[in-house]
Amino acid sequence: MTREPPHTLLYILIIGMVFLWAANFIVGKVVLRELPPILIGSMRIALAAFFIAPVYAWQQKGRSWLNADWRYLAGLGVCGVAANQFFFILGLSRTSVVHSVLIVSMTPILVLVIAASIKQERITVQKAIGMLVAVSGVAILNALPSTEPPGRGATLLGDFLIFLSGLTFALFTVFGKQVSSRHSSITVNAFSYMSGAIALAPLMFWFGFDFHFERVSVTAWTSIAYMALFPSVVCYLIYYYALTYIPASRVAAFNYLQPLIATSLAVAALGERVTWPLVAGGAVIFSGVYLTERG
């Protein structure tokens, strides 16, 4: 019988995961200065599959790589990994960091609605109140002025693509919960990234065929490696590990911290200024996360 880890350790891992995901918005903006978004997204998935494949092979220790759920896991990969990260980087190239992270913070609501629709979870009054409080914090944060140059700020298309990224991740979360009890997070993520890499391989070769890779800086290559290893592999492993012991909506609720963390990182890395809406919105979001987590 597997012993359940202390909740303190789980929450530390989840907070670390959210921090790495929040930093991904800044890193993504950096690499978008030098490479087209579709090429970045497909290369990121391919590298992530490259990183996790040896880990999965070590876990199997000579056993067959396939299992009874391989088709289901591959489908999760195409929807929740390939589509999620494809929409994310494409949307990030057409909208601002603040808009992106605010829209992504709505993912827990999508998770809860989808999970409730298939009777995987129940929406309690306290959860509903917590969600509303957190959404109010997002509305306060939305008062932040844009600091990006004209033509590089938020667009409706970019916001919509980021929403699709959040929606596919919500589907990945809810339907992945059904197999997380039968397979380790390594197995789930290995199948997800390998199938995602296969799905995006044609795009990677198409956009990379005549691209001048010799012009890409060390900073951009390091950024792609970060996006492939930490937000993709490490964070997804933590996410599925946590799903084994904690309800999906409770794990996803920590994404409400992303606006505060990502905006703070943008202040440090991109020179954006701190405003009272940021402070007030962050406080309200923390309150909403607490209420939802306790619900």
* Nearest-angstrom CA–CA distance, 286 and 169: 22
The answer for residues whose C-beta is within 8 angstroms of residue 261's C-beta and 6 or more apart is 18, 19, 22, 23
Could you tell me if 194 and 49 are in contact, meaning their C-beta atoms sit under 8 angstroms apart?
Answer: yes
pLDDT of residue 274: 61
Using 70 as the pLDDT threshold, list the residues of the chain that sit under it: 1-6, 62, 65-66, 138, 141-154, 180-181, 248-249, 252-253, 255-256, 271-275, 277-279, 286, 289, 293-295
Residue-wise DSSP of 205-229: HHHHTT--GGG--HHHHHHHHHHII
- The residue written with tokens 């306290």 in the block is 126
The distance in angstroms from the start CA to the end CA of the chain is 28
Give start and end residues of each alpha helix (H) in 148-257.
156-180, 185-208, 218-227, 235-243, 248-253
Helix (H, G, I), strand (E, B) or coil at 31: helix
* Nearest-angstrom CA–CA distance, 234 and 224: 14
- The residue written with tokens 């057409």 in the block is 94
Could you tell me if 230 and 51 are in contact, meaning their C-beta atoms sit under 8 angstroms apart?
Answer: no
10's tokens: 């789980």
CB hemisphere CA count around 211 (13 angstroms): 17
pLDDT of residue 201: 92
- The reported pTM is 0.79
Closest residue by Cα to residue 109 from 288, 294, 279, 231: 288
1's tokens: 């019988």
pLDDT of residue 248: 67
* Nearest-angstrom CA–CA distance, 32 and 108: 27
Alpha-carbon 151 to chain mean position: 26
pLDDT of residue 37: 93
For the purposes of burial, counting CB atoms within 10 Å of the CB of 53, is it exposed (0-12), middle (13-18) or buried (19 or more)?
Answer: middle
Tens of pLDDT, residues 124-178: 888 888 878 877 876 776 565 554 444 445 677 888 898 899 899 888 888 877 7
Could you tell me if 44 and 228 are in contact, meaning their C-beta atoms sit under 8 angstroms apart?
Answer: yes
